[in-house]
């Protein structure tokens, strides 16, 4: 045997544990299968997040909106009526033509997701009452003796008194939405100096 023949080593078949092995015999290496499972889990997680996060946000946002509206109304209630005239824009929006000779004017406005309300109280003259009612779109004939038209919820917010011992008269002037509806109650104990209470409510 020559020296060249002695250096030839027969080729050995690859062992089952070598890096190039087919793995479990189905042609898919174990590492590739783990990667596939990992990718599917990541994809599923992303889908869940994409669907779940927006839905959760909408629920939270809706709850916050409701709470915000209630908080604003409670804040206005805590502050009470302001000793001042509402602005010209407020009077136009809520259709409250307060007569120029009115005294002791008080007001405040509340807004929430259901409705906007303007609360107004003032004293005027008999002629001033007629001008106010006419400007709203109604008249003295619509006032019902002994009737209080301010709702209980509004009484709680304002602290207004509508108990016995006072000559009350009231009416509700309704308008087609989105125009406001005015609930008007008048203290007619002194006909020459009536005190007017109004809640003008506008709903979208």
Q: How many CA atoms lie within 13 A of 200 on its CB side?
A: 22
121 DSSP β-pair partners: 106, 197
Chain Cα centroid distance, residue 183:
24
Q: Which pLDDT belongs to residue 39?
A: 83
Give the pLDDT of residue 67: 55
Tallying the residues shown for the chain, one arrives at 204
Between the CA of residue 87 and those of 13, 21, 106, 109, 152, what are the distances in Å? 97, 86, 12, 11, 26
3-state secondary structure 162-184: CCCCCCEEEEEECCCCCCCEEEE
Q: What is the pLDDT of residues 10-36, one digit of tens each?
A: 555 555 544 444 545 555 566 677 888
pLDDT tens-digit readout, 153-165: 999 999 999 999 9
Task: Read off the pLDDT of each residue in 72-99 and give the average, rounded to a whole number.
Answer: 81
Nearest CA-CA partner of 186 in 194, 178, 176: 194
Tell me, what's the pLDDT at 27?
Answer: 58
Say yes or no to pLDDT of 92 above 80: yes
pLDDT score for 18: 47
Q: Is the pLDDT at 195 greater than 50, yes or no?
A: yes
Q: What is the rounded (10 degree) CA torsion for 125, 197, 77, 162?
A: 120
pTM, rounded to two decimals:
0.63
65-99 burial code (b ≥16 CB/10 A, e <16):
eeeebeeebeebeeeebeeeebeeeebebbbbebb
Which range of 81-85, 128-132, 177-181 scores highest in mean pLDDT? It is 128-132
Return the pLDDT at 10.
55
**Beta pairing partners, 119:** 108, 199
H-type helices in the chain, by residue range? 3-6, 30-79, 88-93, 126-136, 152-158
DSSP H stretches of helix in 80-191: 88-93, 126-136, 152-158
Provide the pLDDT for residue 78. 47
Per the prediction, the chain carries an average pLDDT of 82
Question: Is the Cβ–Cβ distance between 85 and 122 less than 8 Å?
Answer: no
DSSP single-letter state for residue 2: -
Please write the tens of the pLDDT for every residue from 44-68: 888 877 776 665 555 565 555 455 5
pLDDT in tens, 115-155: 899 999 999 999 999 999 999 999 999 999 999 999 999 99
Q: How far is CA 169 from CA 43, 136, 146, in A?
A: 70, 16, 5
């Amino acid at each position: 045997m020559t020296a060249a023949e002695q250096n030839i080593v027969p080729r050995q078949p690859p062992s089952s544990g070598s890096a190039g092995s087919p793995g479990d015999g189905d042609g898919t290496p174990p590492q590739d299968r783990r990667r596939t499972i990992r990718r599917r889990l990541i994809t599923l997680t992303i889908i869940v997040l994409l669907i779940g996060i927006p839905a959760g946000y909408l629920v939270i946002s809706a709850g916050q909106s409701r709470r915000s509206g209630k908080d604003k109304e409670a804040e206005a209630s805590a502050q009470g009526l302001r000793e001042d005239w509402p602005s010209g824009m407020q009077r136009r929006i809520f259709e409250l033509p307060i007569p120029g000779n009115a005294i002791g004017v008080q007001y405040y406005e509340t807004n929430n997701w259901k409705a906007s309300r303007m609360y107004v109280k003032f004293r005027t003259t008999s002629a001033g009452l007629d001008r106010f009612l006419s400007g709203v779109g109604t008249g003295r004939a619509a006032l019902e003796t002994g009737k209080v038209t301010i709702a209980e919820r509004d009484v709680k917010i304002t602290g207004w008194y509508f108990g016995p011992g006072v000559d009350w008269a009231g009416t509700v002037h309704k308008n087609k939405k989105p125009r406001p509806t005015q609930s008007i109650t008048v203290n007619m104990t002194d006909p020459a100096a009536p005190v007017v209470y109004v809640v003008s409510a506008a709903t979208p």
